[in-house]
Amino acid sequence: MPQQGTRTSGIAPNIYWDKSSYVLGVSLTSKRFKEEHDAFVKLHLELLKESDDLGLQALSTFLNSWESESFESNPLLQPLSETLIDSNLVFRLDGDLCYLHEREAAKNIRDKLLLGTSETQQSICLVSGLPAKIERIHTNIKNVNGAQTAGASIVSFNKNAFESYGKEQGANAPVSEQATFAYTTALNYLLRRDVSNRQRLQLGDATVVFWAEAKSQVSVDAGEDLFAAFIDPEAKDEQEAEKLKRALDAVRQGRPLTDLNKELTDDIQIYILGLAPNAARLSIRYWQADSLQVFAKRLAQHYEDLRIEPLPWRTPPAIWRLLQETAPYYFNKKLNKKEPKEDRISPMLAGEVTRAVLTGNAYPYSLVSNLLMRFRADGQVTGLRVALIKAAITRLARLTNTSNSKGEMPVSLDTTNRQPGYLLGRLFSTLEKIQQDALGGDVSATIRDRYYGAASATPAHIFPVLLRNTQNHLAKVRKDKPGLAVNREKILGEVIDNLESDFPKSLRIEAQGQFALGYYQQKQAFFTKKETSEVENLIEDKK
Burial 305-337 (b: 16+ CB within 10 A, else e): bbebeeebbebbbbbbebbbbbbebeeeeeeee
Residues 3 and 26 in one domain: yes
Is residue 171 pLDDT above 90, yes or no? no
Residues 376 and 524 in one domain: no
pLDDT band at residue 539 using 50, 70 and 90 as cut-offs? very low
Last residue of a domain, one of 73, 95, 115: 115
Closest to 27 measured CA to CA, from 70, 76, 83, 85: 85
Is residue 115 pLDDT above 70, yes or no? no
Is residue 312 pLDDT above 60, yes or no? yes
Q: Is 55 left (phi over 0), alpha (psi -120 to 50) or beta?
A: alpha
Q: What is the pLDDT of residues 5-22, one digit of tens each?
A: 666 677 889 999 999 999
Last residue of a domain, one of 115, 148, 163: 115
Exposure on the CB side of residue 195, measured as CA atoms within 13 A: 0
Least confident of 140-154, 241-255, 397-411, 492-506: 397-411
Residues 228 and 170 in one domain: no
pLDDT band at residue 442 using 50, 70 and 90 as cut-offs? low
End-to-end CA distance of the chain: 88
Residues 335 and 248 in one domain: yes
Check: CB of residue 43 under 8 Å from CB of residue 15: yes
pLDDT band at residue 211 using 50, 70 and 90 as cut-offs? very high
Report the predicted TM-score, pTM, of the whole model to 2 decimal places.
0.76
Residues 230 and 321 in one domain: yes
Range of the domain at 107: 1-115
Residues 299 and 369 in one domain: yes
pLDDT band at residue 543 using 50, 70 and 90 as cut-offs? very low
Q: What is the pLDDT of residues 458-495, one digit of tens each?
A: 999 999 999 999 999 999 999 988 888 999 999 999 99
Residues 204 and 181 in one domain: no
Residues 392 and 437 in one domain: no
How many domains are contained in the chain? 4
Closest to 522 measured CA to CA, from 407, 415, 379: 415
pLDDT band at residue 116 using 50, 70 and 90 as cut-offs? low
Is residue 133 pLDDT above 70, yes or no? yes
pLDDT value of position 118:
44
Is residue 313 pLDDT above 80, yes or no? yes
pLDDT more than 70, % of the chain: 92
Is residue 259 pLDDT above 60, yes or no? yes
pLDDT, the chain, mean: 88
Residues 274 and 354 in one domain: yes
pLDDT value of position 216:
94
Residues 23 and 94 in one domain: yes
pLDDT value of position 529:
45
pLDDT band at residue 530 using 50, 70 and 90 as cut-offs? very low
Last residue of a domain, one of 173, 197, 221: 197
Report, as an integer, the average pLDDT of 23-52.
92
